Structure 1
């Protein structure tokens, strides 16, 4: 008795078909849509076919599953009988009715193990590993053939898809919904993975992480506190305004009326240039200059609540055509000020211009550093490497010291915390103005025995 080599070829073909559908599914679900669109724009026909399939992920899964199932069923049918014929051909000289029954049972067990091995290794694992490693290349190669298979078997695929949808809805699951995208934490993992593989430099990884964290930061956490706002009264003269701007090195100043917390507008230095030019011409011609009225020059100010997420502020500044906003609490009282630079510094780190003092070295690199009491806790960690938990309500270095002391401190008072000493250097009435942070010497470890 002989066996047909065609049946062996059929088994090999069915394993290959199974591997094709398994690899195609993984390749198409792993490839980036942006990469496919780029390849389609370059004229690769397979890329457009892949995009067509991915436009309906549920249908794509149905197509590949139908192909895998048909190949697996065919493999189970052809594999056992083919191996049986091989065993019969090998043992034909000693075949008897009894041994023939034994060979039939043996062929079933052996074929199950052998076919399962080749089916799993060559029909599943290897194609899927290749698809993960070469997702974009394989996706454009398999997509046209998969699209043809879908069109040939469209009726059966639609029946499978709709049947699955009915059962899904019956189980009260999210049937038929187009899901996708990544959560914030998933995006961070993707970015960190890209950084680890060398696709992104470290500073870009940090910036992307900070952008993703902006939604968790409120305006109150980064604003300039009301006590630290440099502003000018609405009745100030031109000389007073210019002097304040020069001393503060600010291009914009809030304007208040009556009391500093009653901000009525913003003054930009560019609006002073025509006034200064008009005064200069008046002096040259010997005639009196026009009376200076600050109210004519100031611009409307933007007002935002202190609870507003920082992620919305750049758009708020853009729509409001402003670089500065006043921050109010729940009662409408101004509690601080926020600028575009404050928001950008949360993404790229401290921005220094030619007028800013050079920032200190990180405290982890220096034994001692002096800071303002208004230094934010977030800045202590990002700029100086000092970690202080903020779960007790304070947001500044002064707030931390007030909490730890439990009273209004005096100059010279200090707090020891986490290996550092925080000493109050200067007080302005009841406000902590200046603080020195210094490392404490490590305590020697004494042996006991």
Structure 2
């Protein structure tokens, strides 16, 4: 009877381990903006989960503490209780009591390890990754309560870990950044276009827009002293000659000085004028 009770306790602790694992994965994978909107709508558990995300490092330390403790206790309880429960059937196959005890212990260890790995780790991990928001709303508040109950011990562990991290020249942070990097946004745009969720032209425009962040005024503007401009009294023939000399197709047109730009002369407008008439057509007439 005692072995059965210990086994029940081990199963309950395995489920508790699963809750800690679910909290660890859901709080790190949930979209911060989505969680904030859920909290604003007053969805149950969202506010508690959001507070947990805002103290993520502390909550993850609490989850790790819970996982470690439950694993150790389950190992002690389940292995011995399962071994005692199956020792009788093992002896029934003709093994000596000493050999049967060893075999039963090995089988008990294997069964308890597999059960803990599947029920206490893999299932909650996959659940949290597939539905991070829903899981975070369920486990966020219980995780905060557990971490608060063991706050002094967790703080001590956290501070020790932070000192080690700083020793490597890194600065620990309390919560993950919720913003996407430009590289992630570019990858998301191309993936959306590939899946048909975004038009190809729209994706290309979006990517080109993001690339502007790496440009400076020097990259996109020509210094005044290097600008090739034409007086408004210049002729269409002058525009053609300037294009042949520079390879450019557009030229600012100014009145009196470069401080008074009145338009842009384009070579395509010159080509529309018959060659014989270009010396008589002024640039101002082409604007």
Asked if Structure 1 and Structure 2 have the same fold, meaning a TM-score greater than 0.5 normalized by the shorter chain, the answer is: yes
Q: Is the 8 A contact 1:26 1:128 kept in 2?
A: yes
> Where does structure 2 lack aligned partners over 5 or more consecutive residues?
234-251, 269-287
- How far off its partner does 1:26 sit? 1.0
Instruction: Sort the Cα spacing of 1:179 and 1:146 in 2 relative to 1 into closer, same or farther, 3 A.
Output: closer
Residue 210 (str. 1) matches residue 208 (str. 2): yes
Q: Is the 8 A contact 1:19 1:124 kept in 2?
A: yes
- How far off its partner does 1:221 sit? 6.0
| Residue equivalent to 1:264 | 259
CA distance in 1, matches of 2:174, 2:144: 22
Instruction: Sort the Cα spacing of 1:67 and 1:230 in 2 relative to 1 into closer, same or farther, 3 A.
Output: farther
Residue 151 (str. 1) matches residue 148 (str. 2): yes
The partner residue of 1:105 within 95, 102, 109 is 102
1:101-180 matched pairs, under 5 angstroms: 101-176=98-173, 180=177
Instruction: Sort the Cα spacing of 1:177 and 1:141 in 2 relative to 1 into closer, same or farther, 3 A.
Output: closer
Deviations 1:33-75 (A, max 9, x none): 1101111111114111111111122112111111111111111
TM-score (norm 1): 0.48
Instruction: Sort the Cα spacing of 1:204 and 1:157 in 2 relative to 1 into closer, same or farther, 3 A.
Output: farther
| Residue equivalent to 2:284 | none
| Residue equivalent to 2:73 | 74
CA distance in 2, matches of 1:153, 1:196: 48
Residue 14 (str. 1) matches residue 26 (str. 2): no
Tell me the secondary structure at the aligned position of residue 175 of structure 1: coil
Instruction: Sort the Cα spacing of 1:68 and 1:185 in 2 relative to 1 into closer, same or farther, 3 A.
Output: same
Instruction: Kindly tell me the number of residue pairs found equivalent between the two proteins.
Output: 246
In proportion to residue count, which structure has more strand? Answer: 1
- How far off its partner does 1:76 sit? 1.0
| Residue equivalent to 1:284 | none
CA distance in 1, matches of 2:165, 2:192: 36
Tell me the secondary structure at the aligned position of residue 264 of structure 1: strand
CA distance in 2, matches of 1:87, 1:204: 65
CA distance in 1, matches of 2:14, 2:193: 38
| Residue equivalent to 1:90 | 89
Larger RCO, structure (CA 8 Å, separation 6 or more): 2
CA distance in 2, matches of 1:44, 1:232: 67
| Residue equivalent to 1:65 | 64
RMSD: 3.4
> Where does structure 1 lack aligned partners over 5 or more consecutive residues?
234-252, 269-336, 338-355, 357-370, 373-449
Q: Is the 8 A contact 1:3 1:85 kept in 2?
A: no
TM-score (norm 2): 0.72
| Residue equivalent to 1:188 | 186
Instruction: Sort the Cα spacing of 1:212 and 1:100 in 2 relative to 1 into closer, same or farther, 3 A.
Output: farther
| Residue equivalent to 1:24 | 23
Q: Is the 8 A contact 1:46 1:144 kept in 2?
A: yes
Q: Is the 8 A contact 2:58 2:174 kept in 1?
A: no
- How far off its partner does 1:80 sit? 1.0
CA distance in 1, matches of 2:150, 2:208: 49
CA distance in 2, matches of 1:200, 1:6: 57
1:234-313 matched pairs, under 5 angstroms: 255-257=254-256, 262-265=257-260
Q: Is the 8 A contact 2:78 2:112 kept in 1?
A: yes
Q: Is the 8 A contact 1:30 1:135 kept in 2?
A: yes
CA distance in 1, matches of 2:167, 2:216: 43
